[in-house]
Structure 1
Amino acid sequence: MSFRSSNLKPLWQQQNTDLAKLVVNSRESIGVRGRGLSVVSKVDETSQAKQLQQLHQLLIQPITDLLPKEANARVVFIPQTSLFLVPFAALQDSSGKYLIEQHTILTAPSIQVLDLTRQQKQRVETRNLASRQNPNVLVVGNPNMPNVSLKRGESPQKLSTLPGAERGALAIATLLNTKALIGNSANESAVVQQMSKAKMIHLATHGLLDDFQRSGVPGAIALAPSGKDDGLLTATEILNLKLNAELVVLSACDTGQGILTGDGVIGLSRSLITAGVPSVIVTLWAIPDNSSALLMSEFYRNLQQNPDKAQALRRAMLTTMKQYPDQPSAWAAYTLIGEAE
């Protein structure tokens, strides 16, 4: 066990800022602004490099000598509060190399949750081995969206459709030899029923950050409403599910966010892990449709060749990076929480 520290005094003494503001500035520098918003069209590449290199200097440089030399060796980050919003994959060293080019990256909300995901992995493996079944793969894309009041007191409005998410879900379903649930077929009742049976779950829809049930656990996944439900699968409802999936991918905007605490993020990802899932892939912002479709397709192709989810995600990021050079907003949003295998 080693300990290293960074001096944060220059941030407020010389730059009149703090670490939390630096994280926000770094996200804005790559074109990511606000909650649930897409990237902006104009990005200041000079500012982008400066912000990402400064975060690298503070967070990575002090431990560089402790990090593995082999790129496929895993590095698990357990961030604190606002550091959960850091796009670790996009941090740049002084030579301009991104961290994902040098290391295979995972995150965890806390040491306790990392221990829980290890237990969940063993439970899922034991159950699947004992049943000798080949559970289903569930792919959901662009449900018939529910009506939602995004601000208290406002009338409910139908969430916008996601044609790009639908195209991506259809392509992934073909790759995984299953049928995607699209439109009305992706209603909450049907999705919840299939989630309990699925080995792998891919949800390409809106992710909402609000605490709709005032339960203290924010977040909801937008699905098609039916006569039995409102179309919002909330984080609280997920907590009450018993899932056997090895992996859940939340390919929606801001699904990695929630209430920032000293013990990590309380939200959708934590709810899924508590419900039994050892590996969850979430996003730190709304990734553009075209790059998202490319990255996710590459991820599942890689996963078919190698069960290491962290390595599969890293290779997918590197492939997408080649198509979108100098645009980390196009590939750095996805992060793997929990177990790699």
Structure 2
Amino acid sequence: MELALALARQSDDRRQFALIMAQLGQVYLAAGQLEAASEMLHEALGLARGLGNAGLSAVLLNDLGILLASQQQYADALKIYEESLSLAQTVSNRPLAIRAQINMAKAALQLGRHQEAKNWLDLVLGQLQELDESHDKAYGLINVGLGYQDLRGHLGKLDEVLLLESAKLFREATNVAQHLGDPRAASYAWGYLGRLYEAERRYQEALPLTNRAVFSAQLANAPESLYRWQWQTGRLLTALGQLDDAISAYSLAVETLQPIRQEVALGSEGLHASFRETIRPLYFELADLLLQRAALTEGQQYSEPYLLRAREVVELLKAAELRDYFRDECVDALQGHIEKLDLLSKTTAVLYPILFADRTELLVSLPNGMARVTVPVTADRLTQEVRAFRRLLEKRTTREYLPHAQQLYNWLIRPLEPSLAAFPIDTLVVVPDGSLRTIPLSALHDGKRFLISKYAVATTPGLNLTDPRPLRRTRLKVLSAGLTEGVQGYPPLPNVTTELQALETLYGSHPLLNQAFRSSSLEKEMQEQPFTIVHIATHGKFESRVEDTFLLTFDDKLTMNQLTRAVGFFRFRDEPLELLTLSACETAVGDDRAALGLAGVAIKAGARSALATLWFINDEASSRLVAEFYQQLQKDPSASKAVALQRAQVTLIQDPAYRHPGYWAPFLLLNNWL
């Protein structure tokens, strides 16, 4: 498509050029690349208007409205849809006019203008009844039915009328779809009718309707529809108390979703649907069912398969979350490593805290198998405690963080103490969930000491994403880079000098400092030499959108994609990059999506491990900790990276000036801890 665009730019056919730009804009929109989509669609619209092509202008305006709605700019979207409608009516494009009015109803609903939304839907319904049997009519009826469903609870006495009208429209849509031989449309019509009955708790009636939706989706070879109805089947069977059958249905839904999750997360109409709404609940509900089933099974040997399957589902979710954040397939799991990791060490435990709405589950992999503890604290209550703890950790002059550190310890670690004490565990690897990504678990406190004083602590987005090989100690080659000067409005980092000097002393590295530290020079160095460790001491920000995440260089901002490209040179060598250190980065307080980006930085960049900070410390403590970490790695070949970090952090704790976790806790060892 982009090649066609390049050729069209060189031709004099402006109409063809506008059409190609419009199509490329739609592709970007469907892929969730909203900035690129906006640029293409606006340029194409300018051309279409210049050519006086009202039909193409109407299509482009509708797409721009969808783009604005995906950014929650509903009032602006509504105005754009109105313009699209006007032009569609001018050129007598009735299907487009209907789509524009349905989109106007959706926008009005989001703005709380419920009667206006109903008026638009009523208008569309009248127009649909005049259409011959067609795909546009089938999907139009489904969309109006969904619109009426969404209006329930907002228009008082009309609730029952809206319910009956929705059911009638879905049934009418099934007739149209069957008449056309369109099983895909039929799957949506039957499925949404089943969902309507599900919402009314009429589960026995909803099940056969949902089965018809599953059959139609299979007939259409439409996985983006099929997974929804397999999931719905699982929910209905759960409600009917048929737990084993429900688990089977959920498992089929996950299996169907795996190859298409990226497309599904973007939404079927190019409208970016939140991953948390469309995909995460499926995995969570299946894990919940498996844990419930394990609880009903007496004896570890019988419950263990359910716990292992629950862990596997959580692993699939973790990989899907990272793919969603980075918007690419860079995080394909390293297949088959999970069993190897379990067998790697008798001194390592892996903790999966799972935050459910009504409780918190602690799954832990131990040398003899899986253990599970249920903690009666809701996700909301735990998140509230996490946010208070995170906020107070940076206040280095008070100990207000301590009650929260102890409360979180009591919820997340103390229930596991008997299981952990049964083995010589020295390393705790955490696969955090939700808000727990935003805090360092090393700073939890048992009333006498910090968790880091008992265990080396590492974080990984998932065991399936972890390359289990230990650090290669021979022929270590280090590339260091950083800024001590203030650039681009960011303050100077004077302690970076000490940090980089320590690396120079230990490994003989010659740093790219200040003016020498540019994106191009970093890329050139990595291309030319096989480094084991890359250490970057500069301002870095991890944001909830990967596009806004960067590392500061002297003259520019290094994006995640640029960093990946630079580190990517190592993938073609015998040894990949062992460790990427980012010693002055930060994530927004309370933003667990930004913290997800930090947790996945090693995977995205193609490094086995990363050492990075949750918040920024412009202090001598940072350079001291980093220097101690590298010294521990060098002087004790038996020490893992996690143990080296533990020793460095404990060294700071033992210094009264730096005992506060605000100084040492932000450093996280990410991914491979060996």
TM-score strictly above 0.5 = yes
Structure 2: segments with no counterpart, 5+ residues: 1-369, 571-575
Decide which structure has greater strand share: 1
Identity between Structure 1 and Structure 2 (%): 28
1:42 maps to 397
- TM-score under structure 2 normalisation? 0.40
Q: Is the 8 A contact 2:460 2:466 kept in 1?
A: no
- Tell which structure's C-alpha radius of gyration is larger: 2
CA drift at 1:232: 1.3
1:139 maps to 480
Aligned counterpart in structure 2 of residue 52 of structure 1, from 391, 405, 411: 405
Decide which structure has greater helix share: 2
Query: What secondary structure is seen at the aligned counterpart in 2 of 1:18?
Result: helix
- 1:4 paired with 2:336, answer no
Structure 2 letter corresponding to 1:209: F
CA 288–145 in structure 1, closer or farther in 2 if over 3 Å, else same: closer
CA drift at 1:103: 0.7
The residue correspondences of 1:1-341 to structure 2 (distance < 5 A) are 1-8=370-377, 18-30=381-393, 32=394, 40=395, 42-43=397-398, 45=399, 47-67=400-420, 73-94=426-447, 96-109=448-461, 111=462, 114-118=463-467, 121=469, 134=475, 136-142=477-483, 147=488, 158-196=489-527, 197-210=530-543, 216-225=546-555, 231-241=556-566, 242=568, 243=570, 244-254=576-586, 260=592, 265-307=595-637, 308-323=640-655, 324=657, 326-341=659-674
CA 265–53 in structure 1, closer or farther in 2 if over 3 Å, else same: same
| RMSD of aligned alpha carbons | 2.9
Structure 1 letter corresponding to 2:435: S
CA distance in 1, matches of 2:610, 2:371: 28
Structure 1 letter corresponding to 2:483: N
CA drift at 1:20: 1.8
Task: Extract structure 1 runs of 4+ deviating beyond 4 A.
Answer: 68-72, 143-146, 255-259
RCO higher in 1 or 2 (8 Å CA, sep ≥ 6)? 1
CA drift at 1:265: 4.5
Query: What secondary structure is seen at the aligned counterpart in 2 of 1:254?
Result: strand
CA 73–190 in structure 1, closer or farther in 2 if over 3 Å, else same: same
> How many residues end up aligned between the 2 structures?
293
CA 145–190 in structure 1, closer or farther in 2 if over 3 Å, else same: farther
Q: Is the 8 A contact 1:138 1:198 kept in 2?
A: yes
Q: Is the 8 A contact 1:81 1:265 kept in 2?
A: no
CA drift at 1:89: 0.9
Query: What secondary structure is seen at the aligned counterpart in 2 of 1:240?
Result: helix
Q: Is the 8 A contact 2:537 2:584 kept in 1?
A: yes
- TM-score under structure 1 normalisation? 0.76
CA 55–320 in structure 1, closer or farther in 2 if over 3 Å, else same: same
CA 87–275 in structure 1, closer or farther in 2 if over 3 Å, else same: closer
CA 268–195 in structure 1, closer or farther in 2 if over 3 Å, else same: farther
Q: Is the 8 A contact 2:564 2:606 kept in 1?
A: no
Structure 1 letter corresponding to 2:477: N
Structure 2 letter corresponding to 1:99: L
CA distance in 2, matches of 1:25, 1:327: 16
CA drift at 1:51: 1.0
Query: What secondary structure is seen at the aligned counterpart in 2 of 1:233?
Result: strand
Query: What secondary structure is seen at the aligned counterpart in 1 of 2:520?
Result: helix
CA drift at 1:195: 3.3
1:36 maps to none
2:186 maps to none
CA drift at 1:201: 1.0
CA 194–134 in structure 1, closer or farther in 2 if over 3 Å, else same: farther
Q: Is the 8 A contact 1:238 1:271 kept in 2?
A: no
